[in-house]
Chains A and B, each alone.
Chain A
């Protein structure tokens, strides 16, 4: 009897261990597949030249630049709004009902599928505001998409600052704003940074919101203003993997594009982890 329940436990735990390492295996499989195939394509020329021969040769330079523009554009829009919003919720708001309402709205916004943001961006920015398919419209759409992430991470970071720090600052005669500026924000900064970096990863990988707001199949030159269309890495990968002029011939380009995308995501994850650890060490001293 006692033995059978011990054997049961052993079997169950082995299965769970197997599953967990199975997940690790899936990750290694996906990354390995992309990196192994991508590294054979990747070169300085691939990163810095334009697509050629109907996307079957050449590089992905305009797509990389387009993604960088979109990241910058959406951050300019979302970061100040998100951070200010979080500061209000965690530092100022006294009306708990209002705070609860905002939190529910933020959660709901975060749960809306990205394609719905695409529809919304198309209706509001592209048509109603008349921006057309443009970097501006795409950045605003992506910005709306990441605002909930910015708000949540900032709020958590602010909440992690001990109340005694604030009280200490008040006791020294500092005003609320001074306390936030000089005490709360600097301490919360590394955690806020981590959240921002993770949302950069999100923006650079999203495809559905940019399909109808900014993305172009091919552009012979770089966008000149925020009212121009742009190419973007995730859309580029989607197009050449599914509907290129010659899907077999453009497969290497697809591997290369996926490799660059994955590298961005990996770098961002590592960077975020590193920043968190670095500042944790500093703060603990």
Chain B
């Protein structure tokens, strides 16, 4: 009887040990999947699947990058010389225009003459760039060539100032406006939440009676428990109209509105961590301060706060991490304009809100889908770094206390 018992013990210990690695496995899997999908973006053709860009074969341009495509089709570049070609104005030809040049009869009943007509148009115009489905270009004549599109590069992604994920022929995935939006909203939120949270933390740990503490602390726990979508709803119905009225602006969905909501959401984190840090200040330090004739308030701001500063910094960083990753509330109240913000009373779009808003519409495996996963990687790295930094700081605090 004793022998099988031992086996069971060993067996269970093994099971426990295996399950203890679950968090590591999950993190590993998250990294693999996010980065696998995300980095596919740099290996995918930028032009929509099944479509091609065609030019006259006399045109010396061999390849073109996504930004150039976008500028050409927006009319910002109107001469081939700008991108290293001949001195010739660019003739932009979209697929639909074929129907205004040729009648349905000329194109044939089943559009069987369409490929040939397209070839003709390209052959006749040396300055043309045409965008249409590849299926009409299966037999490319000697006068026509498909222009190679360069893949998106990491610098396009990291330094790109425009996030236009669905424009044709080539979408643009520049994360600068999204990163700026995220940082603006998060830092503003912490700027609002920090003085408030610190004040409350001091009150709770140094001043409040047990009875008051017994009321406020559960209230803060409750505040932490409210789902973010409820905060978003509250913000949408209450805060947005207030901001609109007070700020006298046309739409109340702004970066400022988002930071107000985020500040409320970050308060519980900031309060509880700074309260712990303040509480950990050794009694001897306080008593020496009192002995020198300092008041309780002087002791707090000259002794306790400096002593607890690293714990408070950890709280700030953790709060920023929370704010950066917060999705639903921000999505609902910031208006989601994916442009570089110039003031806090403009609509902004954060990284998580972008993922939440666009992933549902992005075709699976397409460049847009991959770009959103890449945003997930960026978010993952941001929060990972912040969490490591805050851990290092609070370790410093612990060693000081010890």
Contacts and interface: CB of A to CB of B under 8 A. Distances in A.
A261 B391 CA distance: 33
A269 B222 contact: yes
Main secondary structure of the interface of B (DSSP, over half): helix
Given A34-B230, A211-B360, A111 B23 contact: no
Contact of B20 (A88, A177, A265): A88
Contacts of B215: 24
Contact of A266 (B20, B222, B386): B222
A206 B231 CA distance: 12
B236 interface: yes
Interface string B360-387: 1000100000001100100110011011
Interface residues of B, number: 85
Given A84-B16, A102-B24, A120-B34, A269 B325 contact: no
Nearest to B5: A175
Interface in A121-154: 122-124, 127-128, 144, 147-148, 151
B219 A23 contact: yes
B233 A123 contact: no
A148 B23 contact: yes
A246 to B, nearest CB: 16
Size class of the contact patch on chain A = 35 or more
Given A84-B16, A116-B379, A234 B229 contact: yes
B9 interface: yes
B335 to A, nearest CB: 12
Contacts of B267: 23
A16 B51 CA distance: 63
B276 to A, nearest CB: 14
Interface string A1-44: 00001101100110111011111101101110110000000000
A144 to B, nearest CB: 5
Contacts of B24: 101-102, 105
Contact of A212 (B5, B19, B218, B359): B359
B133 interface: no
Interface stretch (A49-57, A220-228, A236-244): A236-244
B113 to A, nearest CB: 42
Interface string A94-117: 000000011011111101111111
Contacts of B295: 5-6, 8-9
30 contacts: A13-B207, A16-B199, A19-B200, A19-B203, A24-B215, A24-B219, A26-B264, A30-B231, A31-B222, A80-B19, A81-B19, A92-B13, A116-B325, A116-B379, A116-B380, A116-B383, A117-B30, A118-B356, A120-B29, A123-B33, A144-B26, A151-B23, A176-B9, A177-B13, A207-B229, A207-B328, A237-B229, A238-B328, A251-B237, A265-B226
